[in-house]
Amino acid sequence: MTLEQARAALRSARRVAVLTGAGVSAESGIPTFRDAQTGHWSRFRPEDLASPEAYRRDPETVWQWYAGRYRDVSRAQPNEAHHLLARLERGKGEGFFLATQNVDGLHARAGSERLVELHGNLSTARCEACGTVAPLPDPEAFTPPPSCPVCGSRMRPNIVWFGEFLPELALEAAARAFEEAEVALIVGTSGQVYPAAGLALETRRAGGMVIEVNPDETELTPYMNCSVRDVASRGLAALMGEG
Ligand code: NAD
Ligand code: ZN
């Protein structure tokens, strides 16, 4: 399918579901997992920090990593891709749904509201004893670990770690939205992390159209009706008829 046809399909669709991954925030200067392998934390594999076992073994190192990421994303700004998706939502209204695998909070800061954060959020913590979720203090003043405002116990990062289940209601809502979508957009995700990656396949299976925006080929490319090979901001602008 040509870009022109993909653009027409997106324009006329009443139900649109979007899945985003780390690539949508790359232009905000937030490293994807692949980029992170060359950076400061390159001596750690994400699986070795973002897991319940890692946290049990060494909560201090895990909290330091998350406190650093929280500080980094607080200093970052949403980019044009986040803004274009917020604009697409305003155009589609109730027929729009956005599921993100990102934990950086940039979609919400750009104004997205019909949004689920499938993997949690860096700006909140969850009580290990009573489950209370509370916002972290200002990132520049924050020294981990935080303690629970209700019961005083230690809190953990409010992130879905490797080997943990996704929030059930959020995942169900996403699955429904992708199944009902006439058009699904898959932006900046390598498609390696399930069940999020499976959402694209729900749309395809139900007869909808699936469009990917990613500079590189991904695991999901074989299932796409159209692949826009560009960074998120330019790819979305091209699809939304503004590029
Ligand atoms: P990933 O790192 O596995 O893949 C990133 C994808 O983005 C790649 O396919 C890459 O080709 C593409 N990409 C790179 N630059 C891009 C750009 N400018 N525009 C569009 N696409 C671009 O990330 P993933 O698929 O999201 O899955 C990994 C997991 O990492 C997720 O569970 C997520 O929670 C976590 N993660 C989140 C963040 C964040 O919150 N910003 C950052 C790193 C990792
Ligand atoms: Zn508590």
Q: pLDDT-based confidence at 45, cuts 50/70/90?
A: confident
pTM: 0.94
| pLDDT given for residue 36 in this prediction | 62
Fold that domain 3-29+77-119+166-239 belongs to in CATH: Rossmann fold (3.40.50)
**225 CB under 6 A from ligand 1?**
no
Pocket test for ligand 1, best of 20, 25, 33, 48 (most atoms within 8 A of CB): 33
pLDDT at 27: 98
Residue 119 is a catalytic residue: yes
pLDDT at 123: 97
Give the homologous superfamily in CATH for domain 31-75+121-159: SIR2/SIRT2 'Small Domain' (3.30.1600.10)
State residue 40's pLDDT score.
54
Query: Distance between CA 122 and CA 102 in Å, rounded?
Result: 9
Give start-end residues of each CATH 3.40.50.1220 domain in the chain. 3-29+77-119+166-239
Reading the block at residue 86, the tokens are: 């917020």
**Number of the ligand 1 atom closest to the C-alpha atom of 193:** 27
pLDDT > 80? residue 34: no
d(CA 107, CA 85): 8
